[in-house]
Amino acid sequence: MMRNETRLKINGRAWRVKLVKSKELPKDRFGDCDHPPGRHPTVRISQALSQRRMAEITVHELLHAALPSLDESAVTDTAAVIGRALFSLGWRRSPLQSKANNRSKQ
Ligand SMILES: [Zn+2]
């Protein structure tokens, strides 16, 4: 089953990385990253994005989490390159599947 949330350790802290409805984000934001990281540091990414944009925004917000001193334009430029490369090489998020639809999974 695809998940909309995962946890990973970044700089020794347990971060939550979540795909969220766009209304859970500030207007005109596609993702955000807790800064400074609080008690439960979280990265949020809109699930309403195209696959290519989702790859880019995910990389973008994770760069903020991993390298908080990197300035916005460096994050934006780097995330655009990495996101485009991943998409070009074929990385895609699988569609959400219902249980009934899941039989080909191993
Ligand atoms: Zn940013």
Instruction: Provide the pLDDT for residue 35.
Output: 87
d(CA 21, CA 86): 23
CA 89 to centroid of ligand 1, rounded, Å: 24
CA 60 to centroid of ligand 1, rounded, Å: 6
Domains and CATH numbers, the chain: 2-98 (1.10.10)
Instruction: Provide the pLDDT for residue 101.
Output: 47
d(CA 21, CA 84): 23
CA 98 to centroid of ligand 1, rounded, Å: 33
pTM of the model: 0.85
Digitized pLDDT (tens) for each residue of the chain, 106 residues in all: 568 999 999 999 999 999 999 999 999 999 999 988 889 999 999 999 999 999 999 999 999 999 999 999 999 999 999 999 999 999 998 875 555 544 554 4
CA 7 to centroid of ligand 1, rounded, Å: 20
